[in-house]
Structure 1
Amino acid sequence: MAFLKHNGRTICYRLLGDAEKPLLVLAHPLGMTQGVWDDMLPMLLPRFRVLTWDLPGHGASSAWNPISDAIQPEDLAGEALALAEQAGARAFHFAGTSIGGVIGQQLVSQHAERLISATLTNTGAVIGTPEAWQQRSANVLEQGLAAMAMDIVPRWFGPAACEQQPALLDGWRVIMGRGDDRSYALLCEMLGRCNFREALAGRDVPVLLIGGSDDVATPPAALQELAGAIGTADPVILENIGHVPSVECPVQFADLLIRHLS
């Protein structure tokens, strides 16, 4: 792991692989950490230099502490750009899941010239409703992430993954419960404000969309709507997969990603 000071906060990141290879930046889902990409690294590193990082208040990154009591998509895209610059890359491939896909949409809409390609998984131009995200934010601040994780984590994974990995839910409940409540709540509020329906058309970035047939958070219909907003091909929907394909089917996801980036 390494650390970068950015806008008064410390970001925890990993930069792995040969500096001569193209850079691939990976953004994790809300409530998780950069560890979601670990099972894909053996397949990615022979072809790419890989950069992963923890979002505010997640993993080993500092909690959100600026004066502004809000987080904007521009702030998270700014972290990705700062980390790419730290790696010495002007242009890079990007892949993000869930809120990581929202970061990707912000990059496509405002920084297309920095992207070689974008892969957006289990996300949407709009995710959920503002009311639902506000309620989750309030619940987290009242109850804490450790308590909320009991109900949220089971929504991340399809039945097949839970059956194959009996300790999967308990492990990710522990990880989510260690996050910063306020940072998570502010990210919920950000997601309630995000709407990229009119911001993505005409951007000159090759985009691959991936979803899961068993994803209850961002179902296939959300990916289909996003495809229409971007003007790109229909999403690839992975059967019997939930919200986190990098954990549930890392080999299949890595194969799709490598083919798109090639």
Structure 2
Amino acid sequence: MAFLKHQGRTICYRLLGDINKPLLVLAHPLGMTQAVWDDMLPGLLYRFRVLTWDLPGHGASSAWPADSAEITPEDLASEALTLARTAGVSCFHFAGTSIGGIVGQQLVSKHPGQLLSATLTNTGAVIGTPEAWSQRAQDIREKGLATMAEGIVPRWFGPAACEEQPALLDGWKVIMGRGDDNSYALLCEMLGKADFREKLAGKNVPLLLIGGTDDVATPPESLQALAQFSDTSEPVILEQVGHVPSVECPKRLTELLLKHLL
């Protein structure tokens, strides 16, 4: 791991692989950490230099300032762009899941010239409703992540992954519970406001969309709508996969990424 100061905060990141290979930046889902990509790294590093990072208040990255009223998609895109500059490149491939897909949409909409490609998984131009995200933020502030993880984490994974890995839910509950409550709540409020429906068309960024049949948070319909808004081909929908394919089917997701990026 490495650490970077950005706008007064510390960001934890990993930069792995051959400096001469194209850079692939990966953004993780809400409540998780950059560890979601670990099982994909051997396959990806064969072709790419890979950069992952922890979002605000997640993993080993600093919490968002307590006196700040909001986090915006551009704040998170700025982290990705700063990290890419740290890696010494101005253009890069990007892949993100869930809120990581929102980061990707911000990059596509506002910084398309710096993207060689974008892969967005288990996300949407709009995710959920403002009311639901506002309630989630309120609950987190009142009850804390450790308590809320009991109900949130089971929504991430499909039945097949839970059966194959019996300790999967317990492990991610521990990880989520260690995050910063306020940062998570601010990110929930950001998701309640995020709307990319009119911002993605005509950007000329090669785009791949991926979803899962068992994803209850961003179901296949969410990805299909995103395909229409972004003028791209129909999404790839993975069978018996929930919200986090990098954990549930890392080999399959690696294959899809490599096919799209090469």
TM over 0.5: yes
CA RMSD of aligned residues (A): 0.6
Question: In structure 1, what is the equivalent of residue 192 of structure 2?
Answer: 192
Q: Quick one: which amino acid aligns to residue 245 of structure 2?
A: P
Percent identity over the alignment is 75
Cα distance in 1 for residues equivalent to 2:186 and 2:66: 12
Question: In structure 2, what is the equivalent of residue 121 of structure 1?
Answer: 121
Q: Quick one: which amino acid aligns to residue 78 of structure 1?
A: S
Cα distance in 1 for residues equivalent to 2:221 and 2:208: 15
How many angstroms does 1:69 deviate by? Answer: 1.2
Q: Quick one: which amino acid aligns to residue 25 of structure 2?
A: V
Cα distance in 1 for residues equivalent to 2:68 and 2:169: 34
* Contact persistence 1:128–1:192 (CA under 8 A): yes
Cα distance in 1 for residues equivalent to 2:144 and 2:30: 15
How many angstroms does 1:42 deviate by? Answer: 0.5
How many angstroms does 1:50 deviate by? Answer: 0.1
Residue by residue over 1:138-194, the C-alpha shift from the partner in whole angstroms, topping out at 9 and shown as x without a partner, is: 000000000000000000000000000000000000000000000000000000000
* Secondary structure in structure 2 of the residue aligned to 1:71: coil
Cα distance in 2 for residues equivalent to 1:85 and 1:68: 25
Stretches (4+) displaced over 4 A: none
How many angstroms does 1:68 deviate by? Answer: 3.1
Question: In structure 1, what is the equivalent of residue 104 of structure 2?
Answer: 104
Q: Quick one: which amino acid aligns to residue 91 of structure 1?
A: C
Return closer, same or farther for 1:180/1:236 CA change in 2, 3 Å cut-off: same
Question: Normalized against structure 1, the TM-score is what?
Answer: 0.99
Q: Structure 2: state its 5+ residue gaps.
A: none
Question: In structure 2, what is the equivalent of residue 58 of structure 1?
Answer: 58
Cα distance in 2 for residues equivalent to 1:89 and 1:96: 19
Aligned residues: 262
Cα distance in 2 for residues equivalent to 1:156 and 1:72: 23
Question: In structure 2, what is the equivalent of residue 23 of structure 1?
Answer: 23
* Contact persistence 2:66–2:182 (CA under 8 A): no
* Contact persistence 1:8–1:66 (CA under 8 A): no
Question: In structure 1, what is the equivalent of residue 78 of structure 2?
Answer: 78
* Contact persistence 2:156–2:215 (CA under 8 A): yes
* Contact persistence 2:109–2:203 (CA under 8 A): yes
1:225 aligns with 2:225: yes
